[in-house]
């Protein structure tokens, strides 16, 4: 079978293992809340998580509020009664983010005493919904987000600075609950799976105070990595994992992965986590995964038998609609023959344009999850790559 198709199948297996709908359903079947339930789902995977809650709880749900990224609304929500869906901005907040924050505050204020609130939180929440402190402005918040994204700040640094401007971040929602009982389920895209960090800690612990929130992680990148390894094994391939989540600059991680595959005594490696990029003032189209993939491809030698898939598990790579890319030893040649100056594209962070020219981009659309990024490299005969069109995920 074509090695590129195998990589897409391994990605598909990883995504299914951390699917928001299935993960929420699984947890709620084991630990179902009693009485009347009101659901608030926030994040890129909010639609899928909300559907998972409805699958199990059904008529026990009083109302449901879903706040998610533009284009990430699952059509299945149309059949769910008493649901309100808000599409908002990501990765940089806008006026809709502030409007969603006001609706969230009203939702909390109107919770009846006999209702159990169920919170479903995934990555992206921090941009989608916001309530600012009185002296903070939207322009200041947008500037902070843009500066952090361009500079490649790690999530802890970005969250700490966001929290200074926000009524919601760093346990703000927990404070608004004022100690009442609640259930919170998280899809984690952060190191340590810490609820104090996921979604900038909307449902994080309020330092120094006890609260009544029961918190559970229902999916993380380790689950995706494990599923990819199991799917590879079922195809006769043995993949090694890095053991720890990837962190650091995308180009550095590409170099580390190439060193790992060249020295491994197996069929490939699979890593999970989230890289960063430090962007110049002027840059082109792309995200951290396409930049990582192009960096990997630049270091491959003619005849090298390695292919790399680098993709965001949410189906988007930074501000693009690309999930990521699959590259091989002929990627640079294909892009160059198509008229792309690959070195310029790499220097100017225009990796998306280069990999589009090479026909190496991967598109999944919204996936219903968001556990960070996944990198899968496998060995293949270089000659078998020629003449195979890039499969497209459905």
Task: Enter the tokens of residue 1.
Answer: 């079978």
139 and 164 inside one domain:
yes
Q: In this structure, what CATH number is given to the domain that contains residue 356?
A: 3.40.1480.10
Of 356, 277, 282, residue with least CA distance to 322? 356
Residue that is last in its domain, among 219, 253, 286: 219
214 and 274 inside one domain:
no
Q: What are the tens digits of pLDDT across the range 73-122? A: 999 999 999 999 999 998 888 999 999 999 999 999 999 999 999 999 99
230 and 372 inside one domain:
yes
DSSP label at 230?
H
Dump the DSSP string for 4-38.
Answer: HHHHHHHHHHHHHHT-HHHHHHHHHHHSPPPSEEE
Q: In this structure, what CATH number is given to the domain that contains residue 116?
A: 3.40.50.10180
358 and 255 inside one domain:
yes
Given the structure tokens 């091989």, which residue do they identify? Answer: 328
CB 260 within 8 A of CB 375: no
Helix axis angle, 250-263 relative to 288-299, nearest 10°? 50
267 and 329 inside one domain:
yes
Question: Residue 185 forms beta bridges with which residues?
Answer: 120, 216
215 and 265 inside one domain:
no
210 and 243 inside one domain:
no
User: What pLDDT is attached to residue 280?
Assistant: 80
Is residue 299 situated within a structural domain? yes
Is residue 390 situated within a structural domain? no
Is residue 204 situated within a structural domain? yes
Is residue 393 situated within a structural domain? no
User: What pLDDT is attached to residue 126?
Assistant: 84
29 and 109 inside one domain:
yes
30 and 71 inside one domain:
yes
Of 296, 249, 279, residue with least CA distance to 350? 279
CB 237 within 8 A of CB 267: yes
Is residue 3 situated within a structural domain? no
User: What pLDDT is attached to residue 207?
Assistant: 60
Is residue 11 situated within a structural domain? no
Residue that is last in its domain, among 161, 192, 219: 219
Is residue 198 situated within a structural domain? yes
- What SS3 string covers 231-277? HHHHCCCCEEECCCCECCEHHHHHHHHHHHHHHCCCCEEEEEECCEC
Q: Give the range of the structural domain holding residue 49, as residue numbers without chain letter.
A: 19-219
Low-confidence residues of the chain: pLDDT under 70: 1, 207-208, 381-394
The domain tally of the chain equals: 2
188 and 277 inside one domain:
no
User: How far is the C-alpha of 336 from the C-alpha of 305, rounded, in Å?
Assistant: 20
What is the rounded average pLDDT for all residues in the chain?
Answer: 91
Q: Rounded to the nearest 5°, which phi and psi values hold at 345?
A: -60, -40
The alpha carbon of residue 84 and the mean position of all alpha carbons in its chain are separated, in whole angstroms, by 23
100 and 247 inside one domain:
no
196 and 318 inside one domain:
no
| b/e sequence 55-85, b meaning 16+ C-beta within 10 Å | bbbeebbbbbbbbbbeebbbeebeebeebeb
Q: What are the tens digits of pLDDT across the range 13-41? A: 999 999 999 999 999 999 999 999 999 99
Is residue 190 situated within a structural domain? yes
Residue that is last in its domain, among 219, 237, 269: 219
pTM: 0.91
């Amino acid at each position: 079978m074509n090695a590129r198709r195998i990589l897409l199948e391994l990605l598909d297996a990883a995504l299914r293992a951390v699917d928001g709908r299935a993960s929420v359903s699984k947890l709620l079947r084991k630990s179902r809340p009693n009485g009347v339930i009101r659901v608030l789902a926030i994040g890129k995977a909010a639609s899928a998580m909300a559907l998972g809650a409805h699958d199990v709880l059904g008529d026990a749900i009083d109302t449901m509020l879903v706040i998610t990224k533009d284009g990430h609304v699952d059509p299945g929500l149309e059949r769910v009664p008493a649901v309100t869906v808000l599409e908002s901005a990501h990765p940089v907040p806008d006026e809709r983010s502030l409007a969603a924050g006001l609706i969230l505050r009203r939702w909390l204020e109107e919770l009846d005493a006999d209702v159990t609130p169920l919170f479903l939180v995934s990555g992206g929440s921090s941009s989608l919904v916001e309530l600012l402190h009185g002296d903070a402005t939207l322009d200041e918040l947008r500037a902070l987000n843009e500066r952090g994204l361009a500079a490649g700040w790690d999530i802890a640094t970005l969250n700490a600075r966001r929290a200074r401007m926000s009524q919601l971040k760093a346990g703000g929602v927990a404070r608004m609950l004022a100690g009442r009982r609640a259930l919170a389920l998280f899809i984690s895209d952060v190191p340590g799976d810490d609820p104090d960090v996921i979604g900038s800690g909307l449902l994080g612990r309020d330092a120094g105070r006890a609260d009544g929130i029961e918190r559970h992680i229902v999916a993380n990148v380790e689950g995706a990595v494990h599923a990819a390894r199991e799917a590879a094994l079922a195809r006769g391939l043995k993949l090694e994992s890095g053991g720890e989540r990837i962190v650091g600059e995308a180009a550095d991680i590409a170099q580390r992965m190439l060193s790992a595959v060249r020295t491994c005594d197996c069929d490939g490696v699979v890593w999970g986590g989230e890289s960063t990029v430090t962007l110049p003032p002027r840059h082109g189209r792309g995200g951290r995964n396409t930049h990582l993939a192009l960096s990997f491809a630049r270091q491959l030698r003619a005849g090298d038998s390695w292919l790399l898939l680098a993709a965001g598990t949410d189906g988007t790579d930074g501000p693009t609609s690309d999930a990521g890319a699959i590259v091989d030893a002929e990627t640079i040649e294909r892009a160059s023959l198509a008229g792309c100056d690959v070195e310029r594209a790499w220097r100017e962070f225009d990796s998306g344009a280069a990999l589009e020219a090479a026909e190496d981009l991967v598109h999944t659309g919204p996936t219903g999850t968001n556990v960070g990024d996944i990198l899968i490299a496998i060995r293949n005969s270089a000659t078998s790559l020629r003449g195979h069109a890039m499969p497209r995920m459905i």
